[in-house]
Amino acid sequence: MQCLFCGKEKMMQADKVILATGGQSYPTTGSTGDGYQIAKKLGHTICTIKPSLVPLTASEKSLEICKKMQGLSLKNAAITIYDKQKNKVIYNDFGEMLFTHWGVSGPMILSASAHLLRYTNIEEQLLKGAICLKIDLKPALSEEKLEERILRDFEKEKNKEFKNSLSDLLPQKMIEPVVKLSQIDASKKVNAITKQERHNLLKLLKNFEIIINGFRPIEEAIITSGGISIKEINPKTMESKIIQNLYFAGEIIDVDAYTGGFNLQIAWSTGYVAGSN
């Protein structure tokens, strides 16, 4: 091993060793994935390394929309990650998210990324443009209540152009994209908007779509998915089943969880068990 003080290679002997070098995410912390190579050389199976709890990237068409809203944080939104081709819901959540110049991020999105990693044929579905993020911008309102709200706002702003009538309904950065996606003439007077156009706006507010086409790099991920196969570790002691007196702890193991402190708990618990043994 290399001495931290003099930088020279030194041979050290120990009765027992714990390998706890972390995953491959956040390499600036020193967690560069070296432990996987060490474990592999010692005969262990390394399950595929992937980024988890990571921001998601938007398709070319949706990227323009995200860039317009870059920096905008939604604090009380509901999301659904949806496979349009298979007509299947992958994930639902409520909370905070953020628009970025590459796509979307924030607590809900990070948790969604962990679900997407485990979804069957996810890479293929992403390439097809089948994975859709649907955002309900007004989750506290039913469609009926939202229609009443829109009617009240339109009555108040009836002599304004459509593009200038949404400031009470939407954040400023979202107005231009919503106007464009609604297909309502931006210069149209509010009192001239038809019932069908109003209905289209309502549907857009309850189903604002972003097409997802991938994950940000592992260097930007909060945690690493994959690692040393748990089949090769004794869960009662964290000792290797292949090499006696070799133990593992933390993110180097093929165990990961969602946001909320669960990954920290995995690190502490496996570290405690390994250290105790």
Give Cα 137 distance to the centre of its chain.
18
pTM over 0.85: yes
Q: What does CATH list as the number for 143-208?
A: 1.10.8
CATH value of 56-139+209-219 in 3.40.50, 2.40.30, 1.10.10, 1.20.1450: 2.40.30
CA distance 124 to 161: 43
Q: What does CATH list as the number for 17-51+222-276?
A: 3.50.50.60
Please tell me the predicted confidence (pLDDT) of residue 209: 97
pLDDT range class, residue 6, cuts 50, 70, 90: low
Q: Which stretches of the chain are assigned E, i.e. beta strand?
A: 17-19, 46-52, 56-58, 73-83, 88-99, 103-105, 131-136, 208-215, 223-228, 246-248
pLDDT per position as a tens digit, 148-188:
999 999 999 999 999 999 999 999 999 999 999 999 999 99
CA distance 20 to 3: 17
103 three-class SS? strand
pLDDT per position as a tens digit, 50-66:
999 999 999 999 999 99
List the structure tokens of 84: 């349009």
CA distance 81 to 211: 10
List the structure tokens of 252: 């180097």
pLDDT range class, residue 1, cuts 50, 70, 90: low
Please tell me the predicted confidence (pLDDT) of residue 4: 54
Q: Domain locations in the chain?
A: 17-51+222-276, 56-139+209-219, 143-208
